[in-house]
Amino acid sequence: MLKEGDFRSKVAEGCLDQTMAYTSAVNFVWTAVIARSQWKYLQRCYRYIYLDAGHIGQNFYLVAEALNLGACTIGAIYDDELNNFLGIDGKNETTIYVGVVGK
């Protein structure tokens, strides 16, 4: 555990105030540590990071469907707000994608 508390408002604000990020049961904020991909793929790392995020998002939808849950991925995010909330710098590690899930 990094931080304990009720962070619904913080995450929803970082998702352009989309209500589902406030009312969902669980929110996932996926980040990338750029160097973990860049050492191997150099400038192509960004392409692969976004492709990876897409694969993660699709698996997120498949698992939610299998568990009979409602899910939505969110790309409309304020990067800086979510990065500040998570305590990451947006350069070495940055928010890429969000997934919200609930009944």
Site of interaction with ligand FMN (CB under 6 A) = 18, 72-76
- Closest approach, Cβ 53 to ligand FMN, in A, equals 8
Helices (H), 1-103: 8-14, 20-23, 35-41, 45-66, 79-86
Residue 83 CA to residue 15 CA, distance in Å, equals 12
Which residue lies nearer to ligand FMN by CB, 69 or 72? 72
CA distance 56 to 63: 11
Q: For the CB of residue 36, give the shortest distance to ligand FMN in the complex, in Å.
A: 21
Q: Which is nearer to ligand FMN, 35 or 63 (CB)?
A: 63
β-pairing, 70-74 vs 26-33, is unpaired
Q: How far is the CB of 54 from ligand FMN (least distance, A)?
A: 7
- Given the complex with ligand FMN, which of 36 and 70 has the nearer CB atom? 70
